[in-house]
Amino acid sequence: MSTFFAPGRVNLIGEHTDYNGGFVFPCALDMGTTLTITSNSDRVLRFRSANMPEVVEVSIDEAFQPLPNRLWANYPLGCIALLSKKIGGLPCGYDMVFEGNVPQGAGLSSSASIEVVTAFAFNELLHAGLTRTQIAQLAQECEHRYAGVNCGIMDQFVSSWGKANHAIYLNCETLEFDYVPVRMDGISIVLTNSHSPHKLDAGTYNERVRECEQAVAMISKKLPIRRLAELTTDAFNKVEHTLTDPTIHRRARHVVSECERTRQAVRALQSGDIVTFGQLMNASHCSLRDDYEVTGHNLDLLAETAWQVEGVLGSRMTGGGFGGCTVSLVRNEHIPAFRRIVGQRYKDETGIDAEFYVAKIGNGVSEIQG
């Protein structure tokens, strides 16, 4: 029996830029998914979850097709299927038990943590020789092919490469990255769960991907590009007239401006300018609300209420949007008031109890018991 753990993540800034080849700035959490795995002689993959009632069984002697009704087991099944193809098949069956403490639907990448812990575990057990980056890429391919979400690589990458007390400044086009220490004396990263679950597979996420592809096609008639993130702000200003569809124009403007905000935010954090970092978080939320239209009433309410609370330096939605969490920088002495004020207003206006977590930045995927 072997046990493995992979974390969820929170993205501090740089949203919906990853599949556009841009910069992101996430960190791994100490919350995630634990996988306990043993081999069996049944030639069956048996998926159990401490968080779900059903047990799913798949024969290893049959073609690994995505399961119907978008069952949660598609996440690990897809990773096993892709890895099995790389190594020429599985030697036996496996019993797997997954247990996660990342709130589902909170936009903290519970799905990526399942994918990465599975890919890492089978890579270790079968001596497949994949690097952490290749594990992230395999997990991303699983998300595309078995979950139907055309996501970027950020979530899987940080779950693979996370480092305690550091954020990852990642170029999603080249996969070059730097670890940046997160030093914010007297300030904590506070996650607020809207309990309005996001659903990336509902179609709106994939719609944003298509809209960005349309923007690239329009701009390329004037300036050949492959990804929106190739454009600087000045370059975008020179070609934005080619975006004759106002919706497509807004989507592209968000991506270009968000890449620039992310660069500025990293420089601010490295120089200890947390005030500027917080202001850029606020601007990021506004762009996601107005230009990318992925926030919605509940996330806007949480962020905009946070902006009015003493001791809050910045607050924005994090993750894919359409529900999920906000991430806020809050001075430690003001956290109780932050919870009370934001929680009460949110309850009054939505009837929903928000949930708050003080984030701890953890390490990437690892074996915790061999």
Question: Do residues 209 and 354 share a domain?
Answer: yes
Query: Residue 14: which of 153, 116, 186 has the closest Cα?
Result: 153
Residues 33 and 51 in one domain: yes
Cα dihedral: 13, 16, 20, 24 (round 10): 20
Say how far apart CA 157 and CA 274 lie, in whole Å. 25
Q: What is the CATH number of the domain that holds 192?
A: 3.30.70.890
CA distances from 27 to 49, 62, 173 (A): 25, 38, 18
What's the one-letter identity of residue 17? T
Q: Which of these three, 151, 181, 211, is where a domain ends?
A: 181
191: three-class secondary structure by DSSP: strand
Q: Which of 150, 181, 212 is the last residue of a domain?
A: 181
pLDDT at 198: 56
Residue 41 to residues 45, 60, 91, 125, Cα–Cα distance (Å): 10, 11, 10, 16
User: What would the two tokens of residue 366 be?
Assistant: 């690892």
Query: 15 in a domain, yes or no?
Result: yes
152 and 198 belong to one structural domain: no
Does residue 363 lie in a domain region? no
Distance spanning both ends of the chain, measured CA to CA: 7
- The beta strand positions in the chain, using DSSP E, are 2-13, 23-40, 44-49, 56-59, 93-100, 166-171, 177-181, 187-193, 312-318, 325-331, 355-358, 366-369
* Catalytic residue IDs: 155
43 lies in a domain?
yes
Question: How many CB atoms are located within 10 Å of the residue 307 CB?
Answer: 16
Residue in this structure with the two tokens 């305690």, named with its chain if needed: 164
Question: Do 144 and 36 belong to one domain?
Answer: yes
**pLDDT at residue 71, as a whole number:** 81
8 A C-beta contact, residue 356 and residue 192:
yes
Q: How far apart are CA 279 and CA 264, in angstroms?
A: 11
| Whole-angstrom distance, CA of residue 354 vs CA of residue 344 | 9
Q: Which domain holds residue 287?
A: 187-358
Domain identity same for 349 and 272:
yes
Out of 181, 216, 235, a domain closes at 181
Q: Is there a single domain that holds both residue 8 and residue 154?
A: yes
Q: Are residues 296 and 271 in the same domain?
A: yes
Q: What is residue 321's predicted lDDT score, i.e. its pLDDT?
A: 86
Same domain, 32 and 82: yes
194 lies in some domain: yes
Helix (H, G, I), strand (E, B) or coil at 367: strand
Quote the number of domains for the chain: 2
Q: Which helix (DSSP H) or strand (DSSP E) does residue 80 occupy?
A: helix 74-87
Mark whether 172 and 191 lie in a shared domain.
Answer: no
pLDDT 10s per residue in the chain (370 long)? 999 999 999 999 999 999 999 999 999 999 999 999 999 999 999 999 987 788 999 999 988 888 887 688 999 999 999 999 999 999 999 999 999 988 766 666 688 999 999 999 999 999 999 999 999 999 999 999 998 888 889 999 999 999 999 999 999 999 999 999 999 999 999 999 999 865 554 578 889 999 999 999 999 999 999 999 999 999 999 999 999 999 999 999 999 999 999 999 999 999 999 999 999 999 999 999 999 999 999 999 999 999 999 999 999 999 888 889 999 999 999 999 999 999 999 999 999 999 999 999 999 999 997 6
Residue 364 in any domain: the answer is no
Between CA 21 and CA 285 the distance in angstroms is 20
Q: Are residues 92 and 237 in the same domain?
A: no
Say yes or no: 176 and 193 in one domain. Answer: no
The answer to whether residue 156 sits within a structural domain is yes
DSSP bridge pairs for 29: 361
Indicate whether 367 belongs to any domain: no
